[in-house]
Amino acid sequence: MESCEECLRLENRLRAASEHYVNLIVQRDQMLRNANPKASTVESVMRQARFRRNAAGRIFLDHRINHEALSRPKTKRAGQL
């Protein structure tokens, strides 16, 4: 199955959301290692980033499933000519 423009856009959106989430995890871990008291403030931002990453993944997966279904050749059902 070939990727359409929307597939590529959604895939890039998912990749960017995942990278942002990972960067926040690294930032929080560094803050915890340095005993920075503001490390807990990153938690709410991480929750939002995880939510956005998961949403981007669901949208991308839904699009790919629908895209794949639409790109399959239609078969005739029993009784149809």
- Flag whether pLDDT at 79 surpasses 90: no
User: CA 71 to CA 1: how far, in whole Å?
Assistant: 8
Question: What mean pLDDT do residues 70-77 have?
Answer: 64
The reported pLDDT for the residue numbered 77 is 60
The reported pLDDT for the residue numbered 80 is 57
Domain-embedded: residue 33: yes
Domain-embedded: residue 81: no
Domain count, the chain: 1
pLDDT tens, 21-52? 999 999 999 999 999 988 888 999 999 999 99
User: Which tokens go with 58?
Assistant: 């669901």
User: CA 26 to CA 76: how far, in whole Å?
Assistant: 53
Instruction: Tell me the residue range of the domain where 32 lies.
Output: 5-71
* DSSP 3-state of 78: coil
Read off the pTM: 0.76
User: CA 28 to CA 34: how far, in whole Å?
Assistant: 10
